[in-house]
Each structure stands twice: as structure tokens, then as C-alpha cells.
């Protein structure tokens, strides 16, 4: 087993380090000589894809958060409404699904029973189902109309890491492909976005190389009993994922919030010393999101929170309000989740390790939940 871990202390640590390669492999071989996206394994008629008027992403756990991230990108690029729903809720809610609905099922294992049942339910109502799956030949792709494999390689640790990055990458490829097919974007815009995506593995590598500070911070916080996570826009699902990782691995009560929601309730949780992670959007982004989150940080700090901030290189403004700061390389706003989640994964793993817990096999959890 030591050899399989490639010299790392755990499969999870190895899989975190595999992430640049996982993203590279998800992107591999997906454009032609002219730079146009080609998704060969996508066996749904182009005419059907052009007619799609709604996308519903179904998944569970970390895969659902990947879908949540993808919603922001696909709606922005394709102008198609995207809903994201937990598979077990979708299945029993009498959802509105028809031939013009594209259901996107995201699953690392391809065996999650809740997701599989939702796939069957969607197809019974006439929807096309495209699955984004890591495990070749698993059940969900066999029962889907089309599959986009993530090619991240086997993921052993129960808590998902590299699968998450590759699921976002694959969903982005799908979004760009739909934009290309439906003419929502000029070819050179798509090429530019693809080039940015291809540059992400190098940046993910940089985040991993800078991880010593987040590791040390995690070790110093092994007594923490509740941790909050805030984000906006694509940083919101990143916050949810950061909280999930901490629950799964370190058995700490952790919760993620949309930062805009703070004043509607969660701010009541803030008292002296409360650790709060904040995922800060790029100061170069649109919509003033950066200044909004800077004021959120000031609000919680005024109430005693200890702020652990994930920010883009060069963000001098937020530096003043951070108790701890974890820097990530600059990237287009929609691509930031691929970087921002990495320190959160490492934090959870390291804190759990400091508590003497088994990060590959957390209590009560299974890698693949094949019962309803």
C-alpha cells in the first residue's frame, strides 16, 4: 500500500498532488487541429443539443458542488437555464423534464444509487442524459445517452479531491462545446477560454507547492470545534465544498454560506475567535463582487471573527483585513474554483491528520454509496 501511495502519507495527499495531471487528462484530446472543441464520446445528435432549453445537473456530495460551480459558467456562456439538484431530491419531486431537457449526471464512481435512480427517472420522461463520470464502464454511463469521461485516474480516498477538479473541467468543456454548437460565442473567444483552462494545471501545481502555510495553520487549529466558510458567485460552492471536506475528514461542525446571506442569519454565529474561511473573488472581476466580500470580511471581523482568507496574488486591499491569507495565482473568475478549493482540501486533510484521524477512510462514510 505504501508503494501505491507513491511516497505520500495517504491516498488523499497523493490525489491532491495528482490534481494538475487530472485536469490535464480531462482536457486531453478534446480539440481538433483548428482548435475547435470535439467531444467524440458525446453521442447525442447536434440537432438535439441545439434545441436544449434547460439543463438540470443531478449529483450527490462533492459532485453536486462541481455542478453548482458549472451552473455559473454554463449559464454565462450558453444562456441556457441550469438547475442543480441533489439526485435524491430530484427523483422524488416530480420535476419538469421533457425532450428539450438535458440532464447532466455527475459522478466520480458512476455507481451512486441515488444518481442512477435519478438518471432512470429523467430518461423515462424523455430527457437526454449526459453523464460526467470518472470510472470507465460503470453503471451510470451505461445507462446514459452520452458520457464525458473525466479521465482523472482511480480515486481511492473516500473524500473526493481530484475528481472534483476534473468534474468542473469536464462540465466547462461541455459548456464551451454547447456555446460553440449554438453560436453563443465567437470561435476565438472559445479558443481563448480553452487556453486559460489549459493553463490551470500549472497554477494548481503552484497552489500545491505553496501549501506549507495552510498545513501549519491547520495543525495549529486541531482544537477548533466549528468553522465557517464564506464565498460568493463560484466561490459559494467552493465554500460549501470546503465545509464538507472538514466535516468528512475532521468531524468538525463546518458550514458554508453565500457571503451575501450573512446578514440574513449566519452572522449571528460569529463570536470572538470564530474561524471563518473566506474565498475572495478576483479584484479584477466584474460586478463589484470583490468590494462586497471585503465589506463582509470587515463585518465579521468587527464581531471578533478570525478570518482565513483565500485571495488572488496581488490583492493588496484584502490583505489588510485577513488574519491569515493563503495566496492563489490569478485566473479568470470562472476558473478560480479550481485553485481556491485546493487550500481547503489541504486544510481539512492536515487538521484531520493532526487529530490522529484516518483521512482515507473517515468513519461512517463509503467511497461509493450503492444503496438508496
Q: Which residues bind ligand G6P (CB under 6 A)?
A: 60-63, 107-109, 112, 115, 158-160, 365, 367-369
Residue nearest to ligand G6P (CB): 61
CB-nearer residue toward ligand G6P: 27 or 158: 158
* DSSP symbols for 255-267: EEEEGGGGGGTGG
* DSSP symbols for 320-334: TT-SEEEEE----GG
What is the distance of C-alpha 129 from the center of its chain?
21
Distance CA 59, CA 47 (A): 26
Report, in Å, the least distance between residue 371 CB and ligand G6P: 11
Task: Please give the grid coordinates belonging to residue 135.
Answer: 470510472
Query: First and final CA of the chain: distance in angstroms?
Result: 31
Report, in Å, the least distance between residue 1 CB and ligand G6P: 20
CB-nearer residue toward ligand G6P: 162 or 203: 162
Report, in Å, the least distance between residue 122 CB and ligand G6P: 15
Task: Please give the grid coordinates belonging to residue 51.
Answer: 434545441
CB-nearer residue toward ligand G6P: 63 or 193: 63
Report, in Å, the least distance between residue 81 CB and ligand G6P: 24
Sheet of 101-107, strand order: 82-86, 54-59, 101-107, 128-133, 146-149
CB-nearer residue toward ligand G6P: 60 or 218: 60
- Candidates 54, 247, 292, 367; catalytic one: 367
14 catalytic residue (yes or no)? no
The β-bridge partners of 55 are 82, 102
- The conformation of residue 218, written as its DSSP 8-state character, comes to H
Catalytic annotation, residues:
367
Amino acid at each position: 500500500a505504501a508503494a501505491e501511495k507513491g511516497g505520500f502519507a495517504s491516498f488523499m495527499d497523493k490525489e491532491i498532488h495528482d490534481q494538475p495531471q487530472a485536469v490535464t487528462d480531462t482536457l486531453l484530446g478534446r480539440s481538433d487541429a483548428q482548435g475547435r472543441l470535439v467531444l467524440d464520446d458525446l453521442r447525442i445528435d447536434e440537432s438535439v443539443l441545439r434545441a436544449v432549453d434547460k439543463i438540470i445537473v443531478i449529483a450527490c456530495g462533492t459532485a453536486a458542488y462541481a455542478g453548482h460551480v458549472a451552473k455559473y459558467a454554463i449559464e454565462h456562456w450558453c444562456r441556457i437555464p441550469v438547475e442543480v439538484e441533489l439526485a435524491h431530491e430530484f427523483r422524488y419531486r416530480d420535476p419538469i423534464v421533457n425532450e428539450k431537457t438535458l440532464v447532466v449526471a455527475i459522478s466520480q464512481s458512476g455507481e451512486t444509487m441515488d444518481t442512477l435512480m435519478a438518471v432512470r427517472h429523467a430518461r423515462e420522461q424523455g430527457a437526454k442524459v449526459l453523464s460526467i463520470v470518472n470510472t470507465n464502464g460503470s453503471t451510470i454511463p451505461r445507462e446514459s445517452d452520452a458520457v464525458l469521461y473525466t479521465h482523472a485516474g482511480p480515486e481511492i480516498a473516500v473524500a473526493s479531491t481530484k475528481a472534483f477538479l476534473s468534474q468542473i473541467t469536464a462540465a466547462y468543456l461541455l459548456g464551451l462545446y454547447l456555446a460553440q454548437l449554438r453560436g453563443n460565442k465567437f470561435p476565438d473567444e472559445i479558443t481563448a477560454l480553452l487556453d486559460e483552462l489549459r493553463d490551470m494545471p500549472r497554477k494548481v501545481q503552484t497552489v500545491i507547492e505553496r501549501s506549507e502555510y495552510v498545513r501549519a495553520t491547520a495543525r495549529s487549529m486541531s482544537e477548533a470545534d466549528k468553522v465557517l466558510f464564506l464565498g460568493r458567485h463560484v466561490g459559494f460552492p467552493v465554500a460549501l465544498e470546503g465545509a464538507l471536506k472538514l466535516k468528512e475528514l475532521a468531524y468538525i461542525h463546518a458550514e458554508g454560506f453565500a457571503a451575501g446571506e450573512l446578514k440574513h442569519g449566519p452572522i449571528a454565529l460569529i463570536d470572538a475567535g470564530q474561524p471563518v474561511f473566506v474565498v475572495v473573488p478576483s479584484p479584477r472581476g466584474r460586478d463589484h463582487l470583490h468590494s462586497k466580500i471585503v465589506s463582509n470580511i470587515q463585518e465579521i471581523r468587527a464581531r471578533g471573527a478570525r478570518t482565513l482568507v483565500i485571495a488572488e496574488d496581488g490583492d493588496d486591499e484584502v490583505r489588510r483585513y485577513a488574519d491569515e491569507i493563503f495566496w492563489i495565482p490569478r485566473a479568470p473568475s470562472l476558473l478560480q474554483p479550481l485553485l481556491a478549493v485546493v487550500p481547503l482540501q489541504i486544510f481539512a486533510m492536515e487538521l484531520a491528520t493532526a487529530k490522529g484521524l484516518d483521512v482515507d477512510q473517515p468513519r461512517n462514510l463509503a467511497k461509493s454509496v450503492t444503496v438508496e
